[in-house]
């Protein structure tokens, strides 16, 4: 609430807080949606969603998997005024984590593209940002690299992997690695992710990650002075040397 209010004049803070509390209390007083919705409704309203792992209390009570370091994929039920996350019991009631995840991924694919931007990176190159008001925009990172291929209208090169960041729930950012422009792209994405993370009331991660062929590897870390530093692993260094040699 503090972050949300910071973006608004003080005259509307009271209304913002009241509306938020009303939504929270309505969720306590109303019927459990998992008890009243039929399977067809649940299927239409189920989405795979990414969360900051540290922000989910009692996470072991919910089916989930690691998507990237510090980021978990969970299954969410979309409701008119809020989102409910499937507990283990509720997931079992509607087919289990695997079936719900398959449906949740399919529903992500069906979302409309709200705002797509190609942003220049200082020093050359660029990266792509998908922005939107949907609470599931960042979760479309689960669709990479197909998401990039679909939006670019051609199959992207996957040989060297790609960079990805999800600063907050309304942003997903990527760069497909094809040449040496990955170097300025890392730096540009690191700045973008740090700003998007710190400025949002719904942050996910301030970091930039690299898909190494099997999983996401974290490329940035918080330095001693509180800034973000680039961490180059031996595997990522090999990629940098390979694409530099191709020039």
What share of the chain has pLDDT > 90, as a percent? 71
Task: Answer for the pair 218, 69: CB distance below 8 angstroms, yes or no.
Answer: yes
Residue indicated by tokens 């797509």? 116
The DSSP 8-state label assigned to residue 87 in this structure reads: P
The DSSP 8-state label assigned to residue 133 in this structure reads: S
**pLDDT attached to residue 89:** 95
Q: Give pLDDT tens digits for 101-110.
A: 999 999 999 9
The model carries a pTM of: 0.87
Task: Answer for the pair 97, 90: CB distance below 8 angstroms, yes or no.
Answer: no
Q: Give pLDDT tens digits for 58-91.
A: 999 999 999 999 999 999 999 987 899 999 999 9
Question: What are the distances in angstroms from CA 102 to CA 13, 98, 211, 219, 243?
Answer: 40, 6, 21, 29, 35
| Strands 71-78 and 83-85, sheet pairing | antiparallel
β-sheet bridge partners, residue 174: 128, 164
Q: How far apart are the first and last CA of the chain?
A: 49
């Amino acid at each position: 609430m503090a972050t949300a209010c910071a973006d608004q004049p003080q005259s509307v803070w009271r209304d913002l807080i009241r509306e938020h509390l009303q939504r929270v209390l309505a969720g306590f007083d109303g019927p459990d949606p998992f008890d009243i919705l039929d399977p067809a409704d649940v299927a239409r309203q189920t989405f795979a969603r990414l969360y900051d792992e540290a922000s989910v209390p009692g996470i072991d009570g919910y089916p989930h998997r690691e998507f990237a370091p510090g980021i978990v994929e969970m299954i969410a039920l979309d409701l008119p005024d809020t989102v409910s996350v499937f507990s283990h019991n509720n997931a079992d009631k509607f087919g289990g984590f695997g079936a719900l995840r398959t449906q949740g991924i399919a529903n992500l694919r069906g979302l409309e593209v709200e705002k797509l931007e190609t942003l220049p990176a200082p020093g050359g190159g660029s990266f792509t940002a998908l922005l939107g008001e949907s609470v599931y925009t960042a979760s479309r990172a689960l669709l990479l690299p197909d998401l990039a291929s679909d939006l670019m209208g051609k199959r992207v090169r996957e040989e060297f992997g790609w960079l990805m960041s999800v600063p907050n729930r309304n942003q997903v950012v990527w760069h497909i690695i094809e040449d040496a422009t990955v170097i300025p792209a890392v730096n540009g994405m690191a700045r973008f992710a740090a700003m998007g993370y710190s400025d949002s009331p719904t942050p996910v991660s301030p970091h930039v990650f690299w898909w190494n062929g099997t999983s996401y590897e974290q490329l940035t870390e918080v330095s001693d002075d509180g800034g973000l530093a680039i961490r180059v692993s031996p595997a990522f260094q090999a990629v940098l040397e390979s694409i530099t040699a191709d020039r």
